[in-house]
Structure 1
């Protein structure tokens, strides 16, 4: 499983790179703030919504601490998606939130 740090994601974000971020936290968790532009697909719905994703794109998976996003990363990898887990999740994120 590929992993990226929150600092690396923040640097890419601040450089204006187009990132495809999937936040797998529950809706009520996301309401407290998410990385700008992140799409919320709760972990329990990833299997049912993966048809919305494009296998030619790279996705960064995010959750609260990195555990659920790690499971989502492994699951999507098994279906041929290019996914990276953000280590430490939102607890490690120091950038802006929306």
Structure 2
């Protein structure tokens, strides 16, 4: 029993490390200042769910939730930079991996996600 728990914990740690380094290789994480400097010339995608998006999002962002990413990928051009964000950067990292597997290479994440954003936002009333 103890060996099983140790094995499972080891597998989780190895998987987490692999995902972390893989993500570092395929997507560039940008500070808020770097993100602000480039997102207007790129495709700005909010991968949170619609209710989160409606509560507040970065001005100019399109909402393509992670849960719909595979179905709506055609809406994202592979020849232009893609700036992704979510609430904390977890879902946007997974979205970047999905896009990378489909041939997208110019991928950027907002460090800390929307939670840390201090720039202009838009809400639906």
Whole-angstrom distance in 2 between the partners of 1:74 and 1:5: 19
Contact 2:46 2:85 in 1 (8 A): yes
Misfit runs of 4+, over 4 Å:
none
- For residues 47-95 of structure 1, the C-alpha deviation after alignment (integer angstroms, 9 at most, x for no partner) is 1000111110001011000000010011101111122121111011100
Aligned counterpart in structure 1 of residue 63 of structure 2, from 40, 65, 80: 40
Gaps of 5+ in 2: 1-26
User: Partner residue of 2:98?
Assistant: 75
Q: What's the TM-score once normalised by structure 1's chain length?
A: 0.88
The alignment yields a C-alpha RMSD, in angstroms, of 1.4
Q: How many residues align?
A: 95
| Alignment CA distance shift 1:97-1:77 (3 Å) | same
Separation of aligned partners in 1, 2:81 and 2:66: 18
> How far has the Cα of 1:11 moved from its partner?
3.8
Where do 1:17-96 residues align within 5 Å?
Answer: 17-81=40-104, 82-96=106-120
Distance in 2 separating the partners of 1:71 and 1:42: 11
Could you say which structure has the higher helix fraction? 2
The 8 Å contact of residues 36 and 96 in structure 1, kept in 2 or not, is answered as: yes
TM-score (ref. length: structure 2): 0.70
Contact kept, 8 Å, 1:7 with 1:93, in 2: the verdict is no
Higher Rg: 2
